[in-house]
Amino acid sequence: VYDFTRKVPHGRVTTYKDVCTAIGQGSPRSVGSALRKNPFAPTVPCHRVVASNYYVGGFFGEWGASRCSAKIHMLTNEGVEFTTDGYLATKSVIWRG
């Protein structure tokens, strides 16, 4: 999980499900669980992983746009835009590896 997530480029995001597909095992929840405990941040940019429906997803075990303002702020600083309700504004920033 960490090796794949480390490859997500600045200004791009991937999904928990895409991480599972890329590494060939696990579930989106297991990916989220591993990233919640990420001891390698910011080298492993866990903030660049969003939900499969392109919602902001979780951050440090919290879930939802109102609880993930730090994640949204970090991604916005990288040029990733979100709607006011926490969804990606454009799918052009999705990276699948």
- State yes or no: is 46 an active-site residue: yes
Question: Rounded to an integer, what distance in angstroms lies between the CA atom of residue 97 and that of residue 84?
Answer: 28
Q: Which of 46, 50, 72, 88 is catalytic?
A: 46
**Helix 28-36 × helix 16-23 angle, to 10°:** 100
The total of other beta-carbon atoms located within 10 Å of residue 20's CB is 19
* Residues with catalytic roles: 46
